[in-house]
Amino acid sequence: MSYKEFRDIKRKKTKEINVGDVKIGGDNPISVQSMTNTLTTNVKETIKQINDCAEEGAELVRVSCPDEESTNSLKEIVKNSKVPIIADIHFHFKRAIEAAKSGAKCLRINPGNIGQKEKIKQVIAAAKDYDCALRIGVNAGSLEKDILEKI
In order of start, what are the domains of the chain with their CATH numbers? 31-150 (3.20.20.20)
Amino acid at site 118: E
**Interval 80-114: pLDDT, tens:** 999 999 999 988 999 999 999 999 999 999 877 77
The pLDDT of residue 151: 61
The pLDDT of residue 145: 67
**Interval 22-75: pLDDT, tens:** 999 998 998 999 999 999 999 999 999 999 999 999 999 999 999 999 999 999
> What is the rounded average pLDDT of the residues 125-143?
83
- State phi, psi for 41 to the nearest 5 degrees: -70, -15
Contacts of 44 (CB under 8 A, 6+ apart): none
* Least confident window among 81-90, 124-133, 139-148: 139-148
For residue 148, how many other CB atoms are within 10 A of its CB? 11
The DSSP code for 124 is: H
The pLDDT of residue 150: 67
